[in-house]
């Protein structure tokens, strides 16, 4: 019975994806798909069929609800690449919007692989959805394997500190972790900085209830000002690729990281300066 319901839902989602995306969707999925085995999945569980099923609702959010605008998608190179973006909004809608942009609107369609926090797979059903949609736990080993395979990887170096920051700190980047830079240098991978404008307003947080978060075993528990995700207008800015070739110690590695962080912050300031209104 459950299998039948899941199959029926999958069929309906496939139809929605095709009607929402038009005839180009199959060609873009084919071009963006990584190397899959005879069961249609890669070693991490990524499934192009699953992506096809969730693409319709995501594309509706991308085009209709958040009315997403993109700038600089031509900067996304072929081959392995790290997309380094700011994180915000309490729920990772920003990741979904970046992924739809690179798949559906980039000159060279790419299926992004997202790095997630280790605690996310502990949530009910999260591990299946995560792996099927291309996300993997953000360990250096996983990231290196994907880069060696020529994949495009999306990372949010602010981590939980970024996505859960309160309204009073909106568009103020939190400290970046250093792991992405170490991997970029060791694997000779270009970094594309990405600035997301609009995510901070989708679900403003008044505060982080840390005692409640500790009680529930969660990294954060934001006090949300809105009971629903607001239709703020998303604007995604993709910068020119950045390359870093070596580091002698952790101090120099940190300076490289700060260069990327400063670039994303500058792109955010410019995006906010150009924005006329939160909702249009």
pLDDT attached to residue 184: 96
Measure the CA angle with vertex 277, ends 271 and 279; round to 5°: 105
Per-residue pLDDT band at 2 (split at 50, 70, 90) = very low
Total residues belonging to the chain? 280
Structure tokens, 195: 């600035």
Q: Which of 27-36, 150-159, 187-196 has the highest mean pLDDT?
A: 187-196
State how far the Cα of 135 lies from the Cα of 112, in Å rounded to an integer: 8
State how far the Cα of 57 lies from the Cα of 34, in Å rounded to an integer: 22
Answer yes or no: CATH 3.40.1130.10 is held by domain 64-274. yes
Domain boundaries, the chain: 64-274
Higher-scoring residue by pLDDT: 199, 91: 199
Average pLDDT over residues 188-206: 96
- DSSP character at residue 206: E
Long-range contacts of 251-260 (CB under 8 A, 24+ apart): 253/178, 253/181, 253/182, 253/185, 254/178, 256/181, 256/185, 257/157, 257/176, 257/177, 257/178, 257/180, 257/181, 258/176, 260/84, 260/176, 260/181, 260/191, 260/193
Per-residue pLDDT band at 124 (split at 50, 70, 90) = low
Is pLDDT of 196 > 80? yes
Per-residue pLDDT band at 219 (split at 50, 70, 90) = confident
Looking at 24-38, 169-183, 211-225, which range is the least confident one?
Answer: 24-38
By percentage, how much of the chain surpasses pLDDT 90?
Answer: 55
Other beta carbons within 10 angstroms of residue 276's beta carbon come to 7
Which of 208, 209, 274, 200 lies closest to 230, judged by CA? 200
Per-residue pLDDT band at 127 (split at 50, 70, 90) = low
Average pLDDT over residues 1-6: 43
pLDDT attached to residue 14: 57
Is pLDDT of 35 > 90? no
State how far the Cα of 75 lies from the Cα of 20, in Å rounded to an integer: 26
Per-residue pLDDT band at 54 (split at 50, 70, 90) = confident
Instruction: For residue 154, give every residue at least 6 positions away whose Cβ sits within 8 Å of its Cβ, in sequence order, or none.
Output: 83, 85, 95, 98, 99, 112, 113, 114, 115, 194
The tens digit of pLDDT for each residue in 230-272 reads 999 999 999 999 999 999 999 999 999 999 999 999 999 999 9
pLDDT attached to residue 6: 44
Over the chain, what is the mean pLDDT? 86
Looking at 19-23, 26-30, 103-107, 146-150, which range is the least confident one?
Answer: 19-23
Q: Which of 56-60, 117-121, 197-201 has the highest mean pLDDT?
A: 197-201
Whole-number CA gyration radius for the chain: 18
Backbone dihedral region for residue 35 (phi beyond 0: left; psi -120 to 50: alpha; all else: beta): beta
Q: Which of 44-53, 126-135, 165-174, 262-271 has the highest mean pLDDT?
A: 262-271
Is pLDDT of 12 > 70? no
């Amino acid at each position: 019975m459950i299998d039948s319901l899941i199959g029926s839902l999958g069929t309906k989602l496939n139809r929605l994806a095709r009607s929402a995306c038009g005839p180009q969707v199959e060609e873009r999925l084919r071009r963006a798909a990584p190397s899959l085995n005879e069961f249609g999945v890669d070693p991490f569980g990524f499934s192009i069929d699953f992506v096809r099923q969730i693409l319709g609702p995501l594309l509706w959010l991308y085009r209709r609800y958040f009315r997403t605008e993109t700038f600089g998608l031509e900067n996304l190179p072929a081959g392995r690449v790290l997309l380094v973006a700011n994180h915000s909004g309490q729920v990772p809608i920003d990741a979904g919007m970046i992924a739809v942009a690179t798949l559906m609107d980039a000159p060279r369609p790419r299926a992004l692989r997202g790095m997630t926090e280790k605690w996310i797979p502990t949530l009910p059903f999260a591990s299946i959805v995560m792996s099927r949609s291309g996300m993997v736990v953000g360990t250096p080993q996983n990231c290196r394997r994907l880069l060696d395979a020529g994949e495009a990887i999306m990372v949010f170096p602010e981590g939980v500190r970024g996505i859960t920051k309160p309204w009073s700190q909106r568009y103020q980047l939190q400290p970046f972790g250093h792991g992405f830079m170490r991997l970029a240098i060791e694997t000779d991978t270009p970094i594309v900085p990405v600035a997301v404008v609009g995510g901070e307003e989708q679900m403003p947080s008044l505060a982080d209830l840390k005692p409640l978060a500790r009680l529930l075993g969660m990294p954060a528990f934001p006090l949300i000002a809105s009971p629903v995700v607001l239709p703020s207008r998303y604007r995604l800015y993709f910068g020119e690729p950045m390359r870093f070739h070596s580091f002698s110690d952790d101090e120099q590695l940190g300076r490289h990281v700060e260069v990327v962080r400063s670039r994303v912050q500058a792109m955010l300031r410019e995006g906010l300066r150009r924005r006329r209104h939160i909702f249009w």
